[in-house]
Structure 1
Amino acid sequence: MGSADSTRRTRPRLPLASRASLALRDSGLNMHKTPQQLAEAAAAAMHARDRASLALGMKLLKVGPGLASMQMAIREDMANVHDTCHGGLIFTLADSTFAYACNSHNKNAVAVTCMIEYMRPAYVGDVLTATGREQGLEGRNGVYDIRVENQKSELVALFRGKSTQIKGEVTDLNK
């Protein structure tokens, strides 16, 4: 009689590349998407549902893995009592840019903390551009810096956002 080990049937093992492909498929990731394609797909899905940014006239200029750039023209109805752009609206531009950057990996991510330093005022007629970059992503936690400049490339504000990834994906890539 043979030992239990010699009579046990074994399944043939798939090559490592095939096992990795199956693991990625089963995890919901589409292997044929580049990081740039992931970022673009996530941004398109977000943009379709981002009512606040659209209401403020924000335009998404650029998105990539861990980065985003948005623009907002300062309208008359955005002025505060000092005839400058309300700081909350500058924050909103930076925060929206942060959202696109931290969700660019197609993993749902939300803000944990945000802070902003206002460097100079923005005025009615100014066009602000916010550019955000991932500074670090470890596990589920990310840190992003957003620079807000006016049309003269003058620094208006510096924003830092910290994010955490939550369950789910921004968009289903298998549809």
Structure 2
Amino acid sequence: MSHDPEHVARAAAKRMYATDHAARSLGIHVIDVGPGRSVLGMTVRSTMVNGHDIGHGGMTFTLADTAMAYACNSYNQISVAHTTQITFLAPTYAGDVLRATASETAVRGRTGIYDVRVQNQKGETVAVFRGQTQNLKGKLVEDLPITREI
């Protein structure tokens, strides 16, 4: 099996997605993944709209948080969110196709910082998200290496 970091990132994402019931139930899907980065998509469904007839912020947050999860776990090292913050810049609406692009900003020891930009189908930024992650013991795919030292 290949130990190439791109291959490891794809294998880790495939393993995560197989048991990521929350993402799959919301229609979140992986568009691209690589070491320290990911791009995920989701269409805002009518069941995701709040009492103001706009997309519920929790759904946009979940998409961004999930993109961060795929980026920080791309090294095959189990990693979880520690703290997060989101700023909503524009509303979303039923039928909008959202894309969350996550990138690693900094890593020190077991802690990582990831930034996520969420855009709609028009390319408009609807939210920006920053999260801090913490590496735990263990791998996602046992027969592959961890491709970043902690």
Aligned to 2:147: none
Aligned to 1:50: 20
Q: CA deviation at 1:173?
A: 2.0
Aligned to 1:83: 53
Name the structure, 1 or 2, with higher relative contact order (CA <8 Å, separation 6+): 2
2:122 to 137, 152, 161: 152
Aligned to 2:38: 68
- Amino acid across the alignment from 2:128: L
1:34 equivalent to 2:26? Answer no
TM-score, normalization: structure 2? 0.94
Structure number having the greater strand percentage: 2
1:138 equivalent to 2:108? Answer yes
SS in 2 for 1:121: coil
Greater than 3 Å deviation, 4+ residue runs: none
- Amino acid across the alignment from 1:159: F
Percent same amino acid among aligned pairs?
47
The root-mean-square deviation of aligned C-alpha atoms, in Å, is 1.0
Structure (1 or 2) with the larger CA radius of gyration:
1
Q: CA deviation at 1:171?
A: 1.3
Give ranges in structure 1 of 5+ residues lacking alignment. Answer: 1-29
Structure number having the greater helix percentage: 1
Aligned to 1:125: 95
1:114 equivalent to 2:112? Answer no
Give ranges in structure 2 of 5+ residues lacking alignment. Answer: 145-150
Aligned to 1:104: 74
Q: CA deviation at 1:46?
A: 0.1
